[in-house]
C-alpha cells in the first residue's frame, strides 16, 4: 500500500491532456501496482475519485468510489470503478447544477453545470470493455474525473464565480440547500 502525493492547482501536470494506455502496459505488474496506489490514495484523501495526472502520472486512467463519504455526505454511493482510456458521450440535453470540490483545488467549491446522463466507454483494469450509462449526481462525478484527464479543472466550468466558496462557508451557507437539490436529482435519475 502506498499513498501518492496529490498535485495542486498551478502544477502543469494538471493542465496537460493525458495519453492513452496500451493494453500491454496495462497488464504489467508495475501498472497494476500503480492502479492500486491510485485507489489507496483516493481512499486516504477521502476523494470521490482521483485521476492519474492528479498524482503526477499523465496517463488516461481514473478511479471513482463513493461509500458513505464524509466529504460528500449527500452523494449516492458508487462501487469502486477503474476507468482506463474513458470516453464520455452525453445522452440527451438535460443538465443539472453540481456543487463541486477537488483534491487538487484546496478549500474551494463552486457550482458547475453537468450532463444528467452519459454513455461511458472505457476499459477496466483487466482490459475488459466497459460500455454503460450513468445518470444524475454519479454522472457529475464521472465528468469531473474525465475532465482531469483532458487537462481541465472544475473551476474552468464554473459559470458564475460568485458561487465559489471555501468548504467551511459551503457547510455554513450552501450545504443544506444543495443537499435538498441533490435529493431531487437522485429522485429523478436514481443516482
Q: Give dist(CA 109, CA 124) in Å, integer.
A: 30
Nearer to Zn ion, 51 or 123 (CB): 51
Judged by CB under 5 A, the number of residues near Zn ion is 1
Reported in sequence order, the residue ranges of 4-153 that DSSP labels E, i.e. its strands, are: 49-51, 61-66, 78-90, 95-102, 105-115, 117-123, 129-135
Distance of alpha carbon 154 from its chain centroid, rounded? 10
**Which region, judged by CB under 5 A, interacts with Zn ion, from 13-21, 99-107, 111-119, 175-183?**
99-107
Q: Is 26 in the site for Zn ion (CB under 5 A)?
A: no
Pairing of strands 129-135, 61-66: unpaired
Residue nearest Zn ion (C-beta atom):
102
For residue 66, the cross-strand partners are 78
Q: Which is nearer to Zn ion, 92 or 97 (CB)?
A: 97
Decide if residue 52 touches Zn ion (CB under 5 A). no
Q: Which three cell numbers stand for residue 56?
A: 503526477
User: Which one, 102 or 137, has the nearer CB to Zn ion?
Assistant: 102
- Identify the residue whose cell numbers are 445518470: 135
Binding status of residue 61 toward Zn ion by CB under 5 A: no
Which member of 22, 27, 94, 145 is catalytic? 145
User: Which secondary-structure segment (H or E) carries 17?
Assistant: none
By CB under 5 A, residue 102 contacts Zn ion? yes
What's the closest the beta carbon of residue 119 comes to Zn ion, in angstroms? 21
- Nine cell digits for residue 61: 486512467
Decide if 145 is catalytic: yes
Q: How far is the CB of 46 from Zn ion (least distance, A)?
A: 13
In the complex, minimum distance from the CB of residue 51 to Zn ion, in angstroms, rounded to a whole number? 7
Should residue 42 be labelled a site residue for Zn ion when binding is judged by CB under 5 A?
no
159: its cell numbers: 459559470
Query: Residue 146 interacts with Zn ion (CB under 5 A)?
Result: no
Closest separation in Å from C-beta 104 to Zn ion: 5
Q: 118 and 139 in contact (C-beta within 8 Å)?
A: yes
Element containing residue 130 per DSSP (H, E): strand 129-135
Of residues 66 and 102, the one with the C-beta less far from Zn ion: 102
Given a contact cutoff of 8 angstroms between Cβ atoms, the answer to whether 26 and 123 are in contact is yes
Q: Which residues bind Zn ion (CB under 5 A)?
A: 102
The catalytic residues are: 145
Amino acid at each position: 500500500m502506498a499513498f501518492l502525493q496529490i498535485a495542486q492547482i498551478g502544477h502543469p501536470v494538471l493542465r496537460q491532456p493525458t495519453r492513452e494506455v496500451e493494453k500491454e502496459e496495462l497488464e504489467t505488474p508495475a501498472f497494476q501496482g500503480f492502479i492500486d496506489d491510485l485507489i489507496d490514495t483516493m481512499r486516504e484523501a477521502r476523494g470521490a475519485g482521483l485521476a492519474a495526472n492528479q498524482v503526477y502520472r499523465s496517463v488516461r486512467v481514473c478511479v471513482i468510489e463513493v461509500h458513505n463519504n464524509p466529504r460528500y455526505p449527500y452523494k449516492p454511493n458508487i462501487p469502486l470503478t477503474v476507468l482506463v482510456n474513458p470516453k464520455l458521450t452525453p445522452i440527451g440535453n438535460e443538465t443539472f447544477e453540481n456543487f463541486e470540490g477537488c483534491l487538487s483545488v484546496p478549500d474551494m467549491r463552486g457550482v458547475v453545470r453537468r450532463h444528467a446522463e452519459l454513455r461511458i466507454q472505457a476499459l477496466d483494469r483487466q482490459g475488459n470493455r466497459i460500455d454503460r450509462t450513468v445518470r444524475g449526481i454519479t454522472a457529475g462525478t464521472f465528468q469531473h474525473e474525465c475532465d482531469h484527464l483532458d487537462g481541465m479543472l472544475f473551476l474552468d466550468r464554473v459559470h458564475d464565480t460568485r458561487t465559489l466558496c471555501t468548504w467551511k462557508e459551503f457547510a455554513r451557507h450552501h450545504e443544506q440547500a444543495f443537499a435538498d437539490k441533490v435529493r431531487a436529482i437522485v429522485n429523478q435519475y436514481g443516482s
